[in-house]
């Protein structure tokens, strides 16, 4: 029953009296007010008259959910076997309260048909109703109630997917292949392995993805062979599957894909990075750092920077020859300080005529971080700036106005005018409506304390200079900031307002390396309208240390949809101040996808004070951050959250059930072992594994219950 209706029904009960006349109650069943009809059903049920069963049957079809809920209770109290089918229908009602009342009513009938309805509907209902169904079966004295319905749900899913794989249409078979793989059963692997060579590429790719989810390393060899195929979808599925199977033996084959500079090369690198660290994976990453595409090589080298670096002799050999110098320089740029012994072989390339090699050398020496090269970089900067001086000279000598003239401001409200035609009148109405929407959005942002990002007003006009032509200058500006060159702060401040996005981005990133004063200037750039600039700057601020991280945290409440960029940078950065808890909790309270990243960071900084906020976030039924919130609660380890987390062991989504089980293990909770033991029969391998791991620490289910 809706909680809001209960006080009203109780008030009506007092008005009508505890023993309201039967005639009045019958009349109330025809009332236009649903709360009056619901109260009449409840009072008639209390009278226990068998002849009223027909009245409750009619009430079960009422348009109001509170009436149907009371009808379900009344039908259950009758314990008449004839009402089982009707209660089964109410168990499928669109209202969860009606579903729950129908489930408890079926538990009072206590026959096999009622039990069958409860068992069948467990796999079709949401979390709340699933909990009630288990409780209803317990009330009906069904032993191992949850284990029985979980096993029945798993059997139904297996039979359905198996039938679809063999008899369904092609799109249905594709979905069934993936779902069978998620079961992780040996039989699923046996059925999917022959399909990896199916003539239908989409079915073969689905089988490969299913084998990846199955987690059976018997499939590694067959899947690895598919990396030689020419179908991009099949190769992509194979890489994803190998990443999930976590077998370092596939590193060599993935290395070949990673260095081929194709569309799937980044996926191959991600797969190698996901493997447990072994000499084979390190060798593969070092090979990619030398021979991969520039962005792929940088990603591999950065990964090896944290692992102690790569062998330097092969890189030095590349640096000795012009034909291979580019690959050597990009490897040094990724490895950074660990490549310090190669600095003497890198600096000669700063004087090359080839602009590409020269800029790669600038990136490399900046990454190494040796200030000895600053004089050379300053000289290069002066040459580059002088070469662009003529191209960027002002052709409008006077200062440009920074406000729009009358009638030209696109954000100003147009003055009312008499439309010259019906078309003009419609255009005027649409413009007026659009202006009102903009004004309302601006007011909402202001009320919420968010900064409204506005387009930059050009302060100067330059002759057209392509962005690519400015990249060398931007590279030098960023390098001077990175190496903290003398005078770099004032120089980069000047470029921080430049009209060129590459130069402005480079200056802002360089400023983040110049201490608190530089960060104070750079932080304003986070409100720039250019999304790529925002992303690059957010990453630089997160990596610059506590001052940059605090700047990002202070900007968060003022941002709208750009919060994701900042939170992603903080999540991937080297650290987050403990003071971030309050701001991040505010993001969690707002909900949305941003709450997921905020929960991840809260867990990372062990913000124990965030536990109540995270618990409250679980009240939102359809939260996209639910999985991350559960895992965060587990990481924070507060056992007081165990009961709330355990509710999601009944969730209809397997990833949520698995996250709840994992969270319970992390917090060391041992009071929900009956439910965890039941999930060991779940259809999905990830849920079974998580439940088994959660039980392993506390021993058997019975031991955990004690």
Is pLDDT of 40 > 50?
A: yes
What whole-number distance in Å separates Cα of residue 269 and Cα of residue 258?
6
Sign of CA pseudo-dihedral 323, 328, 331, 333: negative
pLDDT (tens digit, 9 = 90+) per residue, 479-504?
999 999 999 999 999 999 888 899 99
User: Is residue 303 located within the same domain as residue 378?
Assistant: yes
User: Is residue 190 located within the same domain as residue 106?
Assistant: no
CATH code assigned at 12: 1.25.10.10
Is pLDDT of 664 > 50?
A: yes
pLDDT (tens digit, 9 = 90+) per residue, 301-350?
999 999 999 999 999 999 999 999 999 999 999 999 999 999 999 999 99
The pLDDT value given to residue 415: 47
The pLDDT value given to residue 704: 37
Question: pTM of the entire structure?
Answer: 0.84
The pLDDT value given to residue 702: 35
Count of helices and strands (H, E) across the chain: 41, 0
User: Is residue 471 located within the same domain as residue 501?
Assistant: yes
Average pLDDT over residues 125-140: 95
Residue of 50, 51, 49, 15 lying closest to 35 (CA atoms): 15
Residue 191 resides in a domain: yes
pLDDT (tens digit, 9 = 90+) per residue, 524-563?
999 988 999 999 999 999 999 999 999 999 999 988 878 9
Are residues 672 and 646 in contact, defined by beta-carbon separation less than 8 angstroms? yes
Residue 249 resides in a domain: yes
The pLDDT value given to residue 700: 39
DSSP sequence for 265-306: HHHHHHHHHHSPP-HHHHHHHHHHHHHS-HHHHHHHHHHHHT
User: Is residue 166 located within the same domain as residue 292?
Assistant: yes
Average pLDDT over residues 166-176: 96
The pLDDT value given to residue 416: 46
Q: How many C-alpha atoms does 647 have within 13 Å on its Cβ side?
A: 14
User: Is residue 29 located within the same domain as residue 86?
Assistant: yes
The pLDDT value given to residue 561: 76
User: Is residue 250 located within the same domain as residue 380?
Assistant: yes
pLDDT (tens digit, 9 = 90+) per residue, 288-304?
999 999 999 999 999 99
Residue 462 resides in a domain: no
User: Is residue 271 located within the same domain as residue 346?
Assistant: yes
CA-angle at 41, arms to 40 and 47, nearest 5°: 90
User: Which of 82, 114, 142 delimits the end of a domain?
Assistant: 142
Number of domains in the chain: 3
Are residues 513 and 495 in contact, defined by beta-carbon separation less than 8 angstroms? no
Residue 251 resides in a domain: yes
Q: Answer left, alpha or beta for residue 312, where phi above 0 means left and psi between -120 and 50 means alpha.
A: alpha
Average pLDDT over residues 49-55: 91
Average pLDDT over residues 13-30: 70
Confidence band for 17, pLDDT divided at 50, 70 and 90: very low
Average pLDDT over residues 694-698: 76
Confidence band for 431, pLDDT divided at 50, 70 and 90: low
Q: What percent of the chain is predicted at pLDDT more than 90?
A: 76
Residue whose tokens read 């990009």: 330
User: Is residue 136 located within the same domain as residue 174?
Assistant: no
User: Is residue 509 located within the same domain as residue 640?
Assistant: yes
Residue 445 resides in a domain: no
Residue 396 resides in a domain: no
Q: What is the chain's mean pLDDT, rounded? A: 88
Average pLDDT over residues 441-451: 57
User: Is residue 227 located within the same domain as residue 265?
Assistant: yes
For the chain, give percent helix, strand, coil, nearest 5: 75, 0, 25
User: Which of 117, 142, 167 delimits the end of a domain?
Assistant: 142
pLDDT (tens digit, 9 = 90+) per residue, 371-396?
999 999 999 999 999 988 777 765 55
User: Is residue 117 located within the same domain as residue 179?
Assistant: no
What whole-number distance in Å separates Cα of residue 493 and Cα of residue 283?
42
Residue 531 resides in a domain: yes
Is pLDDT of 15 > 50?
A: no
Residue whose tokens read 């302060």: 459
User: Is residue 130 located within the same domain as residue 184?
Assistant: no
pLDDT (tens digit, 9 = 90+) per residue, 568-613?
999 998 989 988 999 999 999 999 999 999 999 999 999 999 999 9
The pLDDT value given to residue 1: 39
User: Which of 387, 412, 440 delimits the end of a domain?
Assistant: 387
pLDDT (tens digit, 9 = 90+) per residue, 137-167?
999 999 999 999 999 999 999 999 999 999 9
Are residues 75 and 83 in contact, defined by beta-carbon separation less than 8 angstroms? yes
Average pLDDT over residues 440-449: 58
Are residues 291 and 259 in contact, defined by beta-carbon separation less than 8 angstroms? yes
* Highest mean pLDDT: which range of 415-419, 430-434, 654-658: 654-658
**Parent domain of 26:** 6-142
The pLDDT value given to residue 342: 95
Looking at per-residue confidence, does 398 or 341 come out higher?
341
The pLDDT value given to residue 492: 95
Residue 325: C-alpha distances to residues 272, 318, 336, 365 (Å): 25, 5, 16, 14
Confidence band for 671, pLDDT divided at 50, 70 and 90: confident
Residue 393 resides in a domain: no
């Amino acid at each position: 029953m809706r909680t809001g209706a209960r006080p009203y029904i109780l008030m009506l009960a007092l008005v009508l009296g505890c023993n309201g006349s039967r005639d009045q109650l019958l009349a109330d069943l025809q009332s236009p007010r649903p709360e009056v009809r619901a109260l009449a059903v409840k009072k008639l049920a209390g009278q226990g008259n068998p002849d009223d069963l027909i009245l409750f049957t009619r009430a079960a079809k009422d348009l109001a959910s509170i009436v149907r809920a009371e009808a379900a209770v009344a039908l259950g109290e009758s314990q008449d076997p004839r009402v089982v089918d009707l209660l089964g229908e109410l168990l499928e009602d669109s209202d969860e309260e009606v579903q729950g009342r129908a489930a408890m009513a079926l538990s009072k009938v206590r026959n096999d048909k009622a039990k069958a309805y409860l068992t069948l509907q467990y796999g079709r209902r949401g979390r709340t109703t699933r909990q009630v169904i288990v409780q209803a079966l317990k009330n009906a004295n069904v032993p191992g109630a949850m284990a029985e319905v979980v096993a029945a749900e798993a059997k139904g899913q297996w039979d359905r997917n198996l039938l679809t794989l063999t008899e369904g249409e092609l799109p249905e078979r594709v979905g069934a292949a993936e779902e069978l793989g998620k079961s992780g059963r040996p039989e699923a692997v046996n059925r999917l392995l022959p399909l990896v060579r199916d003539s239908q590429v989409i079915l073969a790719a689905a089988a490969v993805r299913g084998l990846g989810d199955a987690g059976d390393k018997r499939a590694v060899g067959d899947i690895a062979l598919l990396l030689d195929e020419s179908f991009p979808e099949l190769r992509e599925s194979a890489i994803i599957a190998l990443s999930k199977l976590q077998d370092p033996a596939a590193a060599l084959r993935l290395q070949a894909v990673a260095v081929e500079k194709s569309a799937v090369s980044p996926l191959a690198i991600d797969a190698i990075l996901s493997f447990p660290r072994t000499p084979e994976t390190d060798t593969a990453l070092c090979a990619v750092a030398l021979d991969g595409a520039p962005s792929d090589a940088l990603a591999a080298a950065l990964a090896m920077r944290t692992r102690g670096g790569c062998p330097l002799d092969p890189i030095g050999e590349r640096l000795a020859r012009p034909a291979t110098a580019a690959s050597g320089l990009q490897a040094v740029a990724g490895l950074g300080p660990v490549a310090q012994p190669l600095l003497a072989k890198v600096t000669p390339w700063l004087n090359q005529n080839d602009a590409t090699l020269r800029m790669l050398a600038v990136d490399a020496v900046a990454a190494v971080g040796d200030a000895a090269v600053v004089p050379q970089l300053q000289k290069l900067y002066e040459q580059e700036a002088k070469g662009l001086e003529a191209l960027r000279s002002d052709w409008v000598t006077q200062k440009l106005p920074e406000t729009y003239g009358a009638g030209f401001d696109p954000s100003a409200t147009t003055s009312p005018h008499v439309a010259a035609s019906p078309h003009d009148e419609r255009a005027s109405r649409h413009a007026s409506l659009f202006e009102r929407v903009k004004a309302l959005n601006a007011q909402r942002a202001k009320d919420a304390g968010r900064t409204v990002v506005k387009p930059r007003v050009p302060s100067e006009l330059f002759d057209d200079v392509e962005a690519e032509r400015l990249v060398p200058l931007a590279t030098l500006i960023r390098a001077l900031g990175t190496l903290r060159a003398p005078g770099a702060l004032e120089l980069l401040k000047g470029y921080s307002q430049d009209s060129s996005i590459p130069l402005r981005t480079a200056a802002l990133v360089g400023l983040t390396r110049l201490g608190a004063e530089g960060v104070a200037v750079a932080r304003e750039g986070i409100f720039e309208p250019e999304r790529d600039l925002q992303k690059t700057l957010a990453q630089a601020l997160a990596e610059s240390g506590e001052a940059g991280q605090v700047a990002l945290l202070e900007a968060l409440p003022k941002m709208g949809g750009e919060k994701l960029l900042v939170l992603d940078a903080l999540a991937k950065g080297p650290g987050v101040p403990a003071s971030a808890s309050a701001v991040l909790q505010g993001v969690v309270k707002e909900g949305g996808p941003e709450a997921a990243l905020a929960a991840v960071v809260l867990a990372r900084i062990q913000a124990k004070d965030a536990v109540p906020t995270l618990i409250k976030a679980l009240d939102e039924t359809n939260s996209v951050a639910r999985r991350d919130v559960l895992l965060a609660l587990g990481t924070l380890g507060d056992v007081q959250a165990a009961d709330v987390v355990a509710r999601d062991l009944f969730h209809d989504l397997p990833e949520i059930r698995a996250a709840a089980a994992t969270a319970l293990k992390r917090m060391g909770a041992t009071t929900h072992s009956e439910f965890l033991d039941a999930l060991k029969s779940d259809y999905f391998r990830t849920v079974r594994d998580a439940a088994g791991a959660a039980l392993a620490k506390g021993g058997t289910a019975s031991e955990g219950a004690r």
